[in-house]
Amino acid sequence: MDQALVHELYEKYGHHVHSRCLYLLGNRDEARDAVQEVFVKVITHIQEFRREASSATWMIRIATNHCLNVRRSQKAGWRQQFERDEKARPQTYEGGEGVERRELVRSLLDEVDAETQAVAVHYYVDEMSQEEIARAVGRSLPTVRKRLKDFLETARGALAAQGLKVKVAS
Amino acid sequence: MSVLDYVPAGCARHTALRYETGELGGEEKTVFESHLAGCAHCQATLDDLAADKRAFQAAMPFAAFEAGLARRTERARPFWSRRLVLWPLLAAGAAAAALVLMPASGTSPGAWDGIKGGGPSLRYYVKTVVGARPGVDGEALRAGDALRLQAGAGGRKYLLVIGVDADGKIYPWLSADGRSVPAGTEATMLPGSVVLDDDPRPERIFALASDAPLALADVARAAEAAVRAAGGVAGLRQIPGVDAEQASVLIQKAK
C-alpha cells in the first residue's frame, strides 16, 4: 500500500468522506468503519480515481453510494430509521434552514429508490448543480431533474401522510 | 415545503469543498476567491470544513487509520494473490481441539453443494456489512464481495479446499505444507475471507475429501488439465484423476 498516497487521500478527503458517512449512517462507529471501506474501494480503483475530472466529487459519490448501500442492507430488520436519525448529530454549517433541510432529506431517503437517494443527497446536502450531479452519477440532465421531481413528490406525500404542516413556499 | 423548494444560488457547498481540497484551479479558483472575499456564508462553510477536518483527524489519527486500512486492503487483495490460508488447529492435527460449528442460518435451495448424508460439504457465505448470508451456487457476485467458506470432509480423514480460476490455476483455501489437512468430524468455517477481484471470469471452489492426504501439486496439475479439457470451470464439477470425493461451488461474476 502506497503510504504517501494514503496520506494524501486522508489529508484531502478523509474528513469529507467521514462527514458523508456520519450523515447517512448516523452512528460514529459505523461511520468510521464506512470511511475505511470507502478508502479501500478508492485504493482498489485508484486508476479510475486518477482519471476523474473531479476527485472530490468522485470520493463523495463513492462514500454516498457505499453508505446508501449500508442503509439498505440495514433496513431489513436490524435497525430502525428513527433510531439512526435520533442518534445522528446535526451538522451546523449554516444553522437554521440548511440543517433542517439535511435532516429532512435524510429522514425521507428510505422512501425513494437508490438512484433518487443519491441525487437527493448530492442536490440538497452537497448543493451540487444538476449538471454536476449528472456527471457524478453518470446520468443525463433530464434524468437527474426527474429524480429530483420524484423525490419532492415522495417527500410531500410522506410528510402529508404524517399530518405534518409544511411552510407554504413564498 | 419551503425548505425543500431549494434552488442553488452562487454559494454551493460543493464548490467550497472543491476549493478546500485544492481542486479548483485557474479561472474557477480566481472567481471563487473573489466571491469568498465578500461572502460570509462561504467563509463559514470553509470554517466548518476546517473544523470537520480537525474533528476527523482527532477521532481517526493517521497512524491508526493507515493500520486499519492496511488490514482491510490485505484482505481485499486480488483473490489469487492472497497468502496461503492456514488452519492452525487442523494443520497441527490437534485431535483434542474443539471445532466451532457455524450455525447454518437462512439455508436456501441450492446453497449446499455436497452429498447429503455423506461425502464432503462446501458452502460459502457472502459477507455484508451487517453479517453474512449464505451464497447460492452459481449466483453472480461482484468484484469487492467478500466470501467465507464452510467445509467438511463428510467422514473422510483429510480435507483439501482449493479455488480454481478460468485458466486452471489453483489457489489453496485450506491446506498445510502443500497437502490436505486432517479433517474434523463436522463442517466448520474456514478462517479469514477473500474479496473478489475484478476478473469477470468465473471461478470454482472445490472441497476434496480423501482417506490419504493429497498433494497440492498433483491436484494443481489435474485441475489445469481438467479446465483445459472442459473449456473452463463452469461445467467442471469434478476434477478427474484425483482420488477424493469432491464438492464444489461456482463463483460467477456479475457483468
pLDDT per residue over B166-179, tens digit each? Answer: 888 888 888 887 88
Which of these, B6, B14, B69, B5, lies nearest to B45 by C-alpha position? B14
Residue of chain B with shortest Cα separation from A166: B1
Query: Which residue's C-alpha cell is 478462517?
Result: B191
Q: For chain A, what percentages of helix, strand and coil (3-state, to nearest 5) are there?
A: 75, 0, 25
Interface check A154 vs B, CB under 8 A: no
CB A56 within 8 A of CB B21: yes
Name every chain B residue with its beta carbon within 8 A of the beta carbon of A169.
1-2, 5
3-state secondary structure of A6: helix
Name every chain A residue with its beta carbon within 8 A of the beta carbon of B70.
1
**Is the ipTM beyond the 0.85 threshold?**
no
The DSSP-derived string for A84-131 is HHHHSPPP-SS-HHHHHHHHHHHHHGGGS-HHHHHHHIIIIIS---HH
Kindly report the pTM of this predicted structure: 0.54
Specify whether the backbone of B29 is left (phi greater than 0), alpha (psi in -120 to 50) or beta.
alpha
Element (H, E) at B149: strand B146-152
Which of B2, B14, B18 to mutate against chain A (most A CBs within 10 Å)?
B14
State which amino acid sits at residue B159. Answer: L
The pLDDT tens digits of the residues spanning B209-231 come to 999 999 988 998 999 999 988 88
The pLDDT tens digits of the residues spanning A128-143 come to 999 999 998 989 999 9
Helices (H) and strands (E) in chain B, counts: 6, 11
Q: Please work out, in degrees rounded to the nearest 5, the angle formed at the alpha carbon of residue B163 by the alpha carbons of B157 and B165.
A: 150
3-state secondary structure of A39: helix
Residue B130 is placed in which grid cell?
451487517
Which of these, A122, A25, A143, lies nearest to B130 by C-alpha position? A25
Please tell me the distance from the alpha carbon of residue B222 to that of residue B219, in angstroms, as a whole number.
Answer: 5
CB B160 within 8 A of CB B216: yes
Confidence of residue A101 (pLDDT cuts 50, 70, 90): confident
